[in-house]
Amino acid sequence: MNRARLAIACALLGGCHLVNDLTGYEFTGEGGGGGQDQPLYTLRVRVERLSTPLEVTRGDETLIFDTDGSQPFTTPLAAGESFAIELGPLDGQRCTIDPPSGTMASADLEIAVLCTPIVRPQHPEAPRWLDYLAADGLGPCDAATVTRPRDCLHGGEKRAVYVPGAADCNGVSGQDHEQAFVWTCHDEGERVELRAEALAPGKGLAELIDRETLAFLPNAVDITTPSASFSTDLEAWWDNPVRAVDGAQDAPGTIYLVVDDSIPSLVVGADRVAILTDLGAGQPPVVANGRDFVWVEGSGAGDVVMNASSMAVLRNLTAFGEVRVVGSRAPRIQGLTVTGGATCLQLESTIGAAVEGATMARCQRPFQLDQVTGGLATRLSAASCVLAGLVSGSSDFALDDVTLTSFEGPALTVAGSERIHLSRLLIASTDDDGLRMDCTDCSVVAATAMLSTAWGFRFNGGSLHLSNLLAVANGSGMSFENGANVVGRDWVAVSSRNGLGTAVNVSLSGSQVALAGVLKVGGLGMAASCAAQQSSGIEDVTCAAIDQSSFTLQSGNAGGLLGAKVTQDDGENPSDTAGAATFVPSFDWFHFERPTRFWGQDGGSFPDVTNQGACSATSPACRIWDARLRANGAATQQAAVPTPNDVTTFAGQVFLVSALEILDDGLGDDDGYCESQERCLHLPNAGAYQGHGALEELPLGDGAVMGVELWRFADNGD
C-alpha cells in the first residue's frame, strides 16, 4: 500500500499513527480531515566532547547522554511547529546548542550540542586564592594547630579539568596558557581528568595577575588526547579582588600590588592577604604580626618579618635585607633570594618550616635556625658570607641539597640540637673548618668538604650517624672530639697540605666510632694517617678497623677524585673568563652550567695548599671549581644498590642503607632516613654528588623495609 492510500485508510479509521520502517519518518492521520496528508519530521540531538552525563530536554521529553552520540526525540514535529532545547545539569563543562530553539522546516533536523570542559576548583568549598582546607579536604585548616605546611592544602592552586573522549591517561596531556601549573592526568574509572596541584617551579601568583587591569588574567588549558586537541574557554579562574596597596592591607582574600614606594612600611592588616612587589631595592619592608595565611611574593622587598603567623607563603621573593620568621607555624618559603643582610634568613621559635630553594650572598650570616621544631630545607646555597650558617637549640629538622662556599670562617655550625639531618651537603673554600657539629641523634649523609683551610668535618661530641662522606684537599680531613659517638659507613677522607694534615682524628673523652663499608684515607698518595686517642673503632696511626668497626681500609690520592678546576668559560656564569676572575662583590655566585660548581681560591695545580680558602677581597685570585666526581673513580660506585633487608638502626629508626629519603614529596615523615612507604634516592658515591640527569626507578621489593620506591640518577660522574 502506498503512502497516499495509507493516509486515506487512516482517515476512514478515525486517525492512526504510522512509522515508516525504512526511514523512521512518522505520519499522523487525523480522522475526519478529508484525507489531508500532513508530513512529520524527526528532531535529533548530537552531542560532542561530553565530559559528564548530560540531560537534553524538549518539552516533556528528556534524552540522557552518557557519551558522545546522536539520539532522536520520539515525538515528531510537523513543519512550522516550534521547539526549544534545554540542558542540565552541567557538571564540569559548558555546552552550546545550535540552534537552541526554532521552527521545523520540511525536513528532519539535528541539533548540535558541543561541550567544552571547564577548569574548576578541585575543592568547591575552597575555590579562591588564599582559601585553605585541612589536608584531607574535609574541613577548614586550623592555623593554631598545624605543624607543617602539608597539614593543610591551598585550594586556590588546586584546579582540575575533565578530559572528554579519553578512556584512560595514555597519550593525555595538558598545559595552561600561562604555563603556571604542572598538569597531571588521573584516571578515575568513569572519567579522566587533568589536575594541577601546585604552581610550577619558578612560577608564582604574579604570573596570574594583570597589573594594568588589577584582575586575574584569563587562562585556558590546551588538552591533547590520542584522538583530538582542543582548549578550554579563556577565562579567569579566581574572583579575588586585586587592588593597589592602600596602607591598611586589611581586606581578607585580597591581592595587593605594590605600585610605587609611597607607603613606607607594608603592614598586613588581616588574615588571607597577598602582597605582590616588584620595586627592587626600593621596596619598603613587609610586616605581618599575628596574621595567618599571608602570601608575599615579588622581585624586590626590604626586610620581611612574619611574627606569630601561621601558614605564611614567601614565594619567588628577592629581599634586600633580612627575612625573619618568629614564633610562627608552618611557613613555606620558596625561591628566596636574599642579599646583604645581617642574618639573611632567620627562623626562630618556629614549628614546621619548609624552605624550598634559597640563595644568600654577602650576608653576615646566611641563615640561623634557632629553637626550630620540625621542618625541612632543600636547595639552599650561600656564598661570600662572614659567619657560619647556624642551627642551634633545634630539633627534628632536615636539610638537603645544601651548598656553602667562600666563607670567611666555618660554613655551618650545628650546636645544642637533636635529630638534625644533613644530606647532599657541599661545603667548600672556607677560611676555617667546613662543618662543626655537636648534636644528639643527628646524621650527616652524602656530604663533601673540600678546599677548606682547617678540618673538613669537625664533630665535637654528641651521637651521630655518618655515611657517604668525602673530605678532600682540606687542611685536614675529619675529626671526632669530646666524646663523639659515631656509627656509619663509606667515608673517603683524603688529606691535603702535601701529606702534612691528618685524614682522620679521633680524640678526647672516649669518642667511639663504629664504621662499616669503606674508609679511604691518605695524603696525596702518602700512607694513611689517623690519630686515635682514648677512643675505639679506629687504630692509631694505621687507621685499621678495630673493636666495633668492620670497614675495609684503602689509601689513595686526592687528585683523581673530582673534576676540580674549571679552565673554560662557564656558559651560565657572566663573571668568569676561562673559569677565572678577580674578586668583586657583585660576582654571580650561583649560576653555573652545573650545580656542583662554585667559586673558590685559584692557587697552584690541584691539589695544593694554595687552593684552599675563600674567594674574597683579601684573596682575590678566584677560580670556578667543580665537585662532580670522575666516573668509575675512587669515590663513585662505592655502595651497591641495597636489598630491602640491608637496613641499619640509629636512634630508634630502622632504615635502608645507602639511601636517602626524598624530602617534601608528600610521602613519609621527611626526617631524611629511608623508611617503609617512602620514596628514596640511592646513594652510590662518597660525597654530596650522587649523579645527575634523569631519575630512574630501581626494583627493590619488600623485606625489613616495605613499600619503598628507590630511585637513582641515570648518569654518574664525568
Residue ranges of domains in the chain = 1-38, 120-231, 569-629, 647-715
Cβ atoms of residues 540 and 531 within 8 Å:
yes
Cβ-based neighbour number of residue 308 at 10 Å: 14
- Give per-residue pLDDT as tens, 252-283: 999 999 887 778 888 999 999 999 987 655 66
**Cα(47)–Cα(93) distance, rounded to whole angstroms?**
13
Average pLDDT over residues 405-413: 98
C-alpha angle 361/627/688, rounded to 5°? 85
Torsion on CA atoms 473, 474, 479, 485, rounded to nearest 10: -60
Q: 8: which DSSP letter?
A: H
CA 661 to chain centre: 14
3-state secondary structure of 414: strand
pLDDT value at residue 35: 45
pLDDT of residue 500: 43
How much helix, strand and coil, in percent to the nearest 5, is found in the chain?
5, 50, 45
DSSP at 618: S
Task: Report whether the peptide linkage leading into residue 607 is cis, meaning its omega lies within 30 degrees of zero.
Answer: yes
Q: How far apart are CA 518 and CA 112, in angstroms?
A: 73
CB 536 within 8 A of CB 548: yes
Name the grid cell of 410: 666555618
Phi and psi at 389, nearest 5°, equal -60, 140
Q: Which letter does DSSP use for residue 299 in this model?
A: E
Contact 711, 691 (CB under 8 A): no
Q: What letters, b where the CB count within 10 A reaches 16 and e where it falls short, cover 27-57?
A: bbbeeeeeeeeeebbbbebebebbbbebebb
Average pLDDT over residues 133-153: 94
Of 111-115, 181-185, 579-583, 637-641, the range with the lowest mean pLDDT is 637-641
Q: pLDDT > 70: what percent of the chain?
A: 89
Residue 609's pLDDT band, with cuts at 50, 70 and 90, is confident
Q: What is the helix (H) or strand (E) element at residue 418, kind and residue range?
A: strand 412-430
What is the residue-averaged pLDDT of the chain?
89
- Cα 118–123–124 angle (5° rounding)? 70
pLDDT greater than 80 at residue 15 = no
Beta 295-301 vs 313-319: how paired, if at all?
A: parallel
Alpha-carbon gap, residue 286 to 207, rounded angstroms: 21
Q: What is the structure's pLDDT at 30?
A: 40
Pairing of strands 435-450, 455-474: parallel
How many degrees, rounded to 5, is the angle at CA 532 between CA 528 and CA 537? 90
pLDDT in tens, 368-382: 999 999 999 999 999
Give dist(CA 346, CA 364) in Å, integer: 12
CA–CA dist 390, 388 (Å, integer) = 6
DSSP strand pairing (132-134 vs 101-103): unpaired
User: From CA 399, how far away is CA 663, in angstroms rounded?
Assistant: 9
HSE (side-chain half, CA atoms, 13 Å) at 358: 30
pLDDT of amino acid 9: 39
pLDDT in tens, 627-649: 999 887 666 666 889 999 999 99
